[in-house]
Amino acid sequence: VAPQDIIVDKTCNSAFTYTDFELVLRAQGITHLLFSGCTTDVCVHTTLREACDRNFQCLTISDACASGDRQAHEAALHMVTVEDGVFGALTDSSAVIEGLSRLGDRPEATKG
């Protein structure tokens, strides 16, 4: 953990509940979120849904999420793709890495 890193202790299923996570994101001007973690069908999906309700643009990284129940994991990922993207979009880590590397190649790219 670097000195400038911000740590938000999550105490329940959503990172937004009972935390200052949204305030931290807004203060940093962050509008787009990448989702990964455990468990896809509980913590990841609950936080994703709350982020969408708060008008963040959300991208779930399918191969960076996991669950103890394969069917629940797959169902949670499928839910991201229905209803015309109401819960954001779904991709894999290769596409994220490729996209981020292209951003770094742009002359106007800045750190932070």
Q: What is the pTM of this model?
A: 0.87
Which residue, 17, 92, 21, is CA-closest to 6? 21
Both structure tokens of 105: 């190649």
What pLDDT digit, counting tens, does each position of 30-81 carry?
999 999 999 999 999 999 999 999 999 999 999 999 999 999 999 999 999 9
Topology, domain 32-105: Rossmann fold (3.40.50)
110: preceding bond cis by omega (within 30 degrees): no
Q: Backbone phi, then psi, for 65, in 5-degree steps?
A: -120, 155
pLDDT confidence tier of residue 111, bands split at 50, 70 and 90:
low
CA 106 – CA 90 distance, rounded (Å): 24
